[in-house]
Amino acid sequence: MINFILKRISIAIPTILILIIISFILMHSAPGGPFTSEKPLPEQVLKNINAKYGLDQPMYIQMYNYITGIIFNFDFGPSFRYKDRSVNDLIAQGFPVTLKYGSWSFIIAVFFGVSLGVIAAIRQNSYLDYLSVGFSVSAQVLPNFVMAPILVLIFTLWLGWLPGGGWEGGKIQFVIMPVIALSTSYMASIARLTRSSMLEVLNSNFIRTARAKGIPKYKIIFSHALKPTLLPVISYLGPAFVGMITGSVVIDMYFSTGGIGLHFVNGALNRDYSTIMGITILIGCLTITFNLLVDIIYAWIDPKIRYDS
């Protein structure tokens, strides 16, 4: 087990470094510098600005400074657009918001997805089953950017129950719609996965044995069938996490919640290189760490994985 964890960590660290290096090289291969604008600045001014941001040094020194800054001080450098703010400020302001509705979405997607899948599998071919299959099929074509306007249309414009945007420190009525919009399609995927996996498990020999022994049905499901059922679901958690973090960009845009997605899109529209780079790297690190955790949990549950690799 410890070998397995060490092996995984030895993949994760170079991945993060590669991500940083790729984004850094990309940023520096951009045509024109970050301060090239339609109205060219006087040469001396441009020189001074470049010196201030350290852009006059050779690229490898810049890269070294950038990487060591991130690793030792968790410092993503200054924003190239907002002179009085660093990328860290933007992240510190936006991240708690994203974390709040993001984690709620994740919990809700997993909990309701698994429950729905299990219920559908137990009552196979009942109307509950058809309902859940229908839901998970239709939710495939309802990604967050489709759900968000539909929700606003129904709950804000027609019913007038919920505010159509804003955050206000995360009051419940501002969190509901972002969470639903973000979690629906993943909830559906998890339900689908759980259902098919549960059906397969219920047909296997050890469940038949358990039934033959006369163990009550709920006990078979919870203490025998659930654990193997969840294996494919756990391996889906990594992609789901990535998808939700990506979706948060749309949520921030559409509901004006002010999470890091908002700063990312604004950075992208204003060509604020250091901000988009900083956020990309932060999210990359989060994703890689999360995948590492998922792998470890997976190996902990399924011994086959940790001995095979």
d(CA 115, CA 292): 25
Q: Is 183 in the site for another protein (CB under 8 A)?
A: no
Question: What is the length of the chain?
Answer: 309
CA–CA distances in Å: residue 135 to residues 64, 199, 241: 50, 18, 21
Give the nearest distance from C-beta 138 to another protein in angstroms. 8
- Least Cα distance to 220 among 212, 229, 210, 228 occurs for 210
Q: What character string, x for contact with another protein (CB under 8 A) and - otherwise, covers 135-174?
A: --x--xxxx-xx-xx--xx--xx------x----------
Using the minimum distance from each CB to another protein, give the nearer residue, 174 or 273.
273
| 107 lies in the binding site for another protein (CB under 8 A) | no
x/- contact string, 233-262, with another protein (CB under 8 A)? -----x---x--xx--xx--xx--------
Is 202 one of the binding residues for another protein (CB under 8 A)? no
123 C-beta neighbours (distance < 10 Å), count: 13
Question: Which of the residues 13 through 42 are near another protein (CB under 8 A)?
Answer: 14-15, 18-19, 22-23, 26-27, 29-31
Only one residue has tokens 């498990």, namely 201
DSSP 160-204: --S-SS--TTT-HHHHHHHHHHHHHHHHHHHHHHHHHHHHHHHTS
Cα–Cα distance between 250 and 252 in angstroms, integer? 5
Q: Which is nearer to another protein, 50 or 156 (CB)?
A: 156
Q: How many angstroms separate the first and last alpha carbons of the chain?
A: 11
**Under rule CB under 8 A, residue 268 binds another protein:** yes
By CB under 8 A, name the binding residues for another protein: 11-12, 14-15, 18-19, 22-23, 26-27, 29-31, 137, 140-143, 145-146, 148-149, 152-153, 156-157, 164, 238, 242, 245-246, 249-250, 253-254, 264-265, 268-269, 271, 273, 276-277, 279-280, 283-284, 287-288, 291
